[in-house]
Amino acid sequence: MDVYQLELRFITWVTGLLQELSQLPGAKTREVHDHLDRASLSALFNTAEGNGKRQRPIRAKFFDDARGSAKECAACLDALVAKGTITDERIREGKTLLLRIVSMLTKLVHLYSSDHNVREDEEQYMSTLEGRKDENDDEDDRLI
């Protein structure tokens, strides 16, 4: 799955970033560091679990959860910049990967959500049913 492979690339990238951050003096980013690590893994795990589900709505839910975790990763990177820990330039590669990941997961959510099932227009469906009912009524009358 392409999005899964991108998430692995992001985890590799973020691991390098987290190693850099751990070398900085002080612990002012420890919470963000931990959250970024957890969220990156959560995105990967939810994508894997969603891909293994058969029911479309359940797949959509896991892909949506993965998308939420990817957005949390982006927020963590923004927080690190806001705290002055790293620069916008340093997170650019990670944000680019996250943009692609979120985009792919969004498409998967839409693909598997119940709102996008194949179905007839309700009005057309009802008129077809009424037509069949009338046909069946005639047949019933002939049988009597």
Mean pLDDT score, 70-86:
96
Task: Look up the CATH superfamily of 2-143.
Answer: 23S rRNA-intervening sequence (1.20.1440.60)
* pLDDT-derived band at 116, boundaries 50, 70, 90: low
Q: What is the pLDDT of residue 71?
A: 98
Q: How confident is the model over 2-34, as pLDDT tens digits?
A: 999 999 999 999 999 999 998 887 667 889 999
Q: For the chain, what is the mean pLDDT?
A: 87
Residues 6+ apart with CB under 8 A from 112: 56, 57, 59, 60, 63
Give the residue extent of every domain in the chain. 2-143
Q: What is the pLDDT of residue 143?
A: 43
> What count of other Cβ atoms lies within 10 Å of the Cβ of residue 130?
10
